[in-house]
Amino acid sequence: MSEERIEFLYHYTLSPEWQQQVADKLGAVITDQKIMVMPDSIATGSSIFLEVLPGLSVFLLDMTFHVPVAITRIATDQNYYMAYFDLGDEVTTHLLHDTEHRAGYQSKLGMGFMDASIRGIIIPPVEERSYSLRLIIDKDFLKCLFAPNREEEITSGLFDESKNTLFFYSHIDSRSKVLLNSLENLSFTSTSFELKLKSTALRLLAYLVDRATRFQPIINKLSQQDIDQVLKTSQYMLDNLLSDFPGLHQLSAMADMSVSKYKVLFKKILKQTPNRFFLNEKMLLAQTLLLSGNFNNVNDVAYELGYNQPGYFSGLYKKNYGILPGEIMVKS
């Protein structure tokens, strides 16, 4: 199936002109430099691009693809960062370099932040709705937003591209998720949609900066290979949530790095230690299973998640969420 994929290469600009690449190569029709509609044979739905203010643009895509497409954002030296929010929770297959983010029973990381110089590949699901939003943020503008909240030394270190690469992956944070959910049901042509989209983009940016200033600064230059390798291991964990934690040795071997390097880079990209990351994802899955109504009792959920001792699972759950699993369980 991958052989039949339409391969498409592009890059963004802060101004609307990047859309011309889609028109030229895929035959998309662009109206007012804002709304883009693909040929029916490729996808239905549309996308909208707005310049919100100097230094910030937003691109919202709401399409259902009918054929397999691999959309590659090529690395450029353009002066922007991109923040990516994917609401299609279990669906989109997000491919970064050669690392494929698959979906399934596992959870998926719906948010990414990256430099224009890092390549990214998206493989939207076929015959399923893709709903994703991107902020394109001028580098100098973002730096100036960060500056007052951090010591100057840290800010200049973080934004010094010879020493550091800004890049991370995570779940969409709650405030952003709620904001995106409220946008999701509106049509692009509805009253005041453009105002709402601008409002959403600005508030998402504020949440992003607010959240990122709370990250522990890890100043490190990342190569594309580093990113690939680390995301390969996080994906491995997301794909194997029902097993035990694979252990740092296995994970770092998989990433072809020393344990110490692996720990630092993992924490830089995923904002948690590998162990904590795995446990959090497992607990989030536990939450989903408990509320799914597919299980009769907490023991069954514990066994499903690979815990032999349900008491141990309940203890872990309580430690994480402050409530016993039995108290929130929806029984089948």
Partner 1 sequence: MREVIHQYGVESDWMESMAVQLDGYVQGSYIKVPEGGSPGTRYVCAISNQITAFLVDVVYHEDVVYRLRNTQHDFISLFFNLTEGNATHILNGVSRSIGRWGYNLSVFDSNLDGDYLVKSGCTTYMIAIFIKKNALKEYISDIPKYNQILESVFEPELNTIVRFDRMSNQAWWLMDELRRFPPGGPLYDVFIQGTVYGLISDYLDQLLVQEIILEKVVQEDVSNIISSQSYLVEHIKDHFPGIPALASKACMSETKYKKIFKKITGDSANSFFLTNKLSFAKELLEKGNHTVAEIADEFNFFDASHLIEQFRNSYGVSPKEYLIKL
Give the tokens for residue 228: 């690939």
Closer Cβ to partner 1, 100 or 173, answer by number: 173
Positions 295 through 324 that interact with partner 1 (CB under 8 A): 320-323
Shortest Cβ 312–partner 1 spacing (Å): 20
Please give the Cα distance from 59 to 35 (Å, whole number). 10
Please say which residue, 7 or 184, places its beta carbon nearer to partner 1.
Answer: 184
User: Of the two residues 121 and 205, which places its CB atom closer to partner 1 in the complex?
Assistant: 205
Residue 187 interacts with partner 1 (CB under 8 A): yes or no: no
Contact pick of 66, 102, 171, 263 for partner 1 (by CB under 8 A): 171
Interface with partner 1, residue 294, by CB under 8 A: no
90 vs 194, which CB is nearer to partner 1? Answer: 194
Q: Which residue, 36 or 172, is less far from partner 1 as judged by CB?
A: 172
Size of the chain, expressed as the number of residues it contains: 332
- φ/ψ bin of 91: left (φ > 0), alpha (ψ from -120 to 50), beta (otherwise): alpha
The interface with partner 1 within residues 66-85 (CB under 8 A) comprises none
Please name which of 33, 50, 17 lies closest in space to residue 197, comparing C-alpha atoms: 50
| Binding residues for partner 1 restricted to 220-279, rule: CB under 8 A | none
Residue 226: which of 99, 105, 320, 329 has the closest Cα?
99
> What would the DSSP string read from start to end of 160-171?
-TTT----EEEP
Cβ count near 73 (within 10 Å): 22
Supply 287's token pair: 């939450």
CA distance 271 to 59: 26
Across the beta sheet with 6-10, the strand order is 6-10, 69-73, 120-123, 93-96, 99-101
For partner 1, the binding residue among 177, 228, 246, 275 (CB under 8 A) is: 177
Q: Which stretch binds partner 1 (CB under 8 A): 91-99, 157-165, 203-211, 245-253?
A: 203-211
Residue 331 in contact with partner 1, rule: CB under 8 A = no
SS3 62: strand
With CB under 8 A as the contact rule, the residue among 21, 224, 287, 299 that binds partner 1 is 287
Interface residues toward partner 1, by CB under 8 A: 53, 144-145, 147-149, 171-175, 177-178, 181, 191-196, 198-203, 205-206, 209-210, 280, 283-284, 287, 291, 320-323, 327-328, 330
